[in-house]
Structure 1
Amino acid sequence: MLITDNKKIETYYQALLERKQSFVGIFFVGVKTTLVFCIATCRARKPKKENVEFFTTFKDALDNGYRPCKVCKPTENANQAPEQIENAIKLIKKNPKVKITDYQLRQKGISPEVVRRWFKKNYGMTFQAYQRMYRINNAFQELKLGKNTTDTAFDTGYESLSGFGYTFKKLIGKSPNQSKGGNLILINRLTTPLGPMFVCATDNGVCLLEFVDRRMLETEFKDLQKLLSANIISGENEHIKQVKKEIKKYFDGTRKSFEVQLVTPGTDFQNSAWKCLQEIEYGTTTTYQEQAKKINNSKAIRAVASANGYNRISIIVPCHRVIGKDGKMTGYGGGIERKKWLIEHERNNASA
């Protein structure tokens, strides 16, 4: 949303001049003379007040024709986890079977209050809930490898089998004994120059990669859990680690194709459409009509567009490379401005 309140504009402009860290992510400032947008701490030369306008989200700035500043990288740095949060997450990963207390956080110089606020805002859950998911995921993996329930429960820090069983079933959807041959969808977060994304993966590969503000994202989560008969909980596996590395290289302009394994539950027609998307060369675009021809159904243009809309793995399954017959940018769940940015990014790096 464009900020029109004069008092806020004055406050934000002063914060921009003073490079106030506390305003990072609170506003995004568009510079009319350069058509770039920045965060409060940008080191670039400060524009005059009459040459700027303020937005509440980076998406609003993108939608109004501004592009991310190369100096402060607003969409990346505004959403990246602060150092205290990174340290708290590292603490969980190093001690996946231990409940991290507020006292332990303070001993490491981490504010429990800052951690709680950040997790609530960026994950929609408490830090303790995030911890429980990591501990239960660790237990789930050990049960699948044949470890007995009693040893797993007490080794994971639970004082009773009943407490472990209740939490396990609440998060996984099945009791510990019932889940030994089951599946689980792990979800994690990554930052990109176009904003934060969620990535989901099973033991078999990545099944979702979406911008966190994508419309109908909650519906996608529900559909995915139903299609794969598995619950989504916070965690990380090798596929998630791999996709983070590959996506970073993609945005750096050094990766043009992806090697990470994918899981794409859907109809035969949808999978044929998604396979066709993966065959569109980096740095090029095609139309829905051409895509329909390639899957031997030139009249199924609307069906192809619908299948593309159900694609849950953005960028890697590149539905952004499909445009209208008249050359117009149409139908992208992440937003038309992101689609334009991705196409331009690939064209600029195609020959590199």
Structure 2
Amino acid sequence: MLFDLPDHDVLYRALLDRDPAYDGHVYVGVTSTGVFCRLTCPARKPNIENTRFFDSVAGCFEAGFRPCLRCRPLDPIGQREPVVSALLRALEHEPERVWSEDDLVGMGYDPSTVRRTFKRQLGLTFLDMARLRRAGLGLDELGAGQRVIDAQQAAGYASGSGFRDAVVRLLGDSPVHLRGRELLKAAWIPTPIGDMLAVADMHALHLLEFFDRTALPAELKKLREATRSAITFGRTPVIDQIEAELGHYFAGTLQAFKTRLVLHGSPFTKAIWDELVTIVPGTTCSYAELAAQAGRHTAVRAAARANGANQLAIVIPCHRVIGANGSLTGYGGGLWRKDWLLRHEQKVRAALTA
């Protein structure tokens, strides 16, 4: 029942609300125009009597609808806007550059448009990201044991106080305390349901969370305390591996992640996480069943807390745990993402068993 297509009124309300939970799973055909769209399409909404809903692109074509040129329902969902992709490539090409709005104008972009687009897709502006990236270069120098002044210059900061302020805002520690310490690397990974932040060392993944999760700052602080390390922006082979595996997961071609993980939690919490990875993709279990599988039949609330403490979203599939009555329950990344992930996995499972 969880994966049945909702009735027409529910889907029409989702269309009006541009509900992202149905993106990639439900499409709307507009009889007055002959086109079909994503439910998140920004175009003017049709009257309810002019709508038909389908669970596949094939169904839309078979009914005689053509794809919308505005929301492009045939394109992979979650693609970044061209301006974001282009500027991220430019930033990685010149991470030491002191970027300004004049640079954006020189590249043919409107600074206010760039600011809004980056805030919408990544949660911070391009210029803020560039400043953090430069600070990260300095942190790499600190981690290698270089002097603070050398790290400051490597980051392109003319002012020592400006560099110190940037480091403290980024990592919650002063440059002198970071010298010679091993640093964890953090990088953004785009997914069809929002950008994720991956944090890893050279050997294993420590954190994978949706960037807009409200608890992310607290999780990063806990991670720094647990590892007695600092976090800087950059990439490691582990981040490259998990990004590739996530790509295969969303494409429906990966059932089990192979990336090595570091689990930060109590023995009971880790036992719960171990049980989570045994839940078959496309299926679910309740919190009571999860506790029983971990050998603690009466610890349902503790199992729920351990489930919620997971810092490795999707890889440790806490989204596969639902209420005893079959309803969706809390998910740190948002219930719409939990619904999306469950629908995605159910579709992949159905295709593999067909």
Q: Is residue 30–residue 37 contact of structure 1 (8 Å, CA) maintained in 2?
A: yes
Name the CA distance, whole Å, in 2 between partners of 1:151 and 1:245: 35
Report 1:147-226 matches (<5 A): 147-179=146-178, 180-184=180-184, 186-192=186-192, 195-203=193-201, 204-212=203-211, 214=213, 216-217=215-216, 219-226=218-225
Structure 2 residues without counterparts, runs of 5 or longer: 1-12, 59-66
Deviations 1:20-49 (A, max 9, x none): xxx9x9xx997389998434489xxx9963
For residue 215 of structure 1, report the CA deviation from its aligned partner. 6.2
Name the CA distance, whole Å, in 2 between partners of 1:266 and 1:303: 13
2:342 is aligned to: 340
Please say which of residues 329-338 and 87-96 is displaced more in the overlay. 329-338
Deviations 1:126-160 (A, max 9, x none): 32221111112122123323444333322332234
Q: Is residue 210–residue 313 contact of structure 1 (8 Å, CA) maintained in 2?
A: yes
Q: How much is the aligned-residue C-alpha RMSD, in angstroms?
A: 4.0
Partner secondary structure for residue 188 of structure 2: strand
Partner secondary structure for residue 346 of structure 2: helix
Deviations 1:90-145 (A, max 9, x none): 11111122212333333333333322222233333332221111112122123323
Name the CA distance, whole Å, in 2 between partners of 1:244 and 1:217: 19
Name the CA distance, whole Å, in 2 between partners of 1:249 and 1:115: 30
Q: Is residue 320–residue 332 contact of structure 1 (8 Å, CA) maintained in 2?
A: yes
1:31 is aligned to: 28
Closer, same or farther in 2 for the Cα pair 1:107/1:48, shift >3 Å? closer
1:253 is aligned to: 252
Q: Is residue 181–residue 229 contact of structure 2 (8 Å, CA) maintained in 1?
A: no
TM-score where L is the length of structure 2: 0.71
Partner secondary structure for residue 261 of structure 1: coil
Name the CA distance, whole Å, in 1 between partners of 2:235 and 2:186: 6
TM-score where L is the length of structure 1: 0.72
- Matched to 1:258, the amino acid is F
Q: Is residue 323–residue 329 contact of structure 2 (8 Å, CA) maintained in 1?
A: yes
Structure 1 residues without counterparts, runs of 5 or longer: 1-8, 14-22, 54-64
- Matched to 2:350, the amino acid is N
For residue 177 of structure 1, report the CA deviation from its aligned partner. 3.3
Closer, same or farther in 2 for the Cα pair 1:86/1:142, shift >3 Å? same
Partner secondary structure for residue 260 of structure 2: coil
Partner secondary structure for residue 115 of structure 2: helix
Name the CA distance, whole Å, in 2 between partners of 1:214 and 1:178: 28
For residue 232 of structure 1, report the CA deviation from its aligned partner. 5.8
1:5 is aligned to: none
1:308 is aligned to: 307
- Matched to 1:136, the amino acid is A
1:104 is aligned to: 103
Q: Is residue 321–residue 343 contact of structure 1 (8 Å, CA) maintained in 2?
A: no
Closer, same or farther in 2 for the Cα pair 1:140/1:227, shift >3 Å? same
Q: Is residue 282–residue 342 contact of structure 2 (8 Å, CA) maintained in 1?
A: no
Aligned length: 313
- Matched to 2:349, the amino acid is R
- Matched to 1:50, the amino acid is I
- Matched to 1:202, the amino acid is A
Name the CA distance, whole Å, in 1 between partners of 2:98 and 2:152: 13
Closer, same or farther in 2 for the Cα pair 1:123/1:225, shift >3 Å? farther
Name the CA distance, whole Å, in 2 between partners of 1:199 and 1:92: 17
* Seq. identity, %: 29
Q: Is residue 186–residue 199 contact of structure 2 (8 Å, CA) maintained in 1?
A: yes
Q: Is residue 141–residue 150 contact of structure 2 (8 Å, CA) maintained in 1?
A: no
For residue 88 of structure 1, report the CA deviation from its aligned partner. 1.1
Please say which of residues 280-289 and 81-90 is displaced more in the overlay. 280-289
Partner secondary structure for residue 178 of structure 1: helix
1:318 is aligned to: 317
* Structure 2 residue 118 is matched with structure 1 residue 116: no
Q: Is residue 205–residue 263 contact of structure 1 (8 Å, CA) maintained in 2?
A: yes
1:89 is aligned to: 88
- Matched to 1:109, the amino acid is G
For residue 270 of structure 1, report the CA deviation from its aligned partner. 0.7
- Matched to 1:301, the amino acid is V
Deviations 1:190-238 (A, max 9, x none): 131xx20322303153333334555655554554455445566654443
For residue 316 of structure 1, report the CA deviation from its aligned partner. 0.9
Closer, same or farther in 2 for the Cα pair 1:209/1:73, shift >3 Å? farther
- Matched to 2:186, the amino acid is L
- Matched to 1:318, the amino acid is P
Structure 1 runs (4+) greater than 6 angstroms displaced: 32-36, 65-71
Name the CA distance, whole Å, in 2 between partners of 1:141 and 1:233: 7
* Structure 2 residue 245 is matched with structure 1 residue 243: no
Q: Is residue 143–residue 149 contact of structure 1 (8 Å, CA) maintained in 2?
A: yes
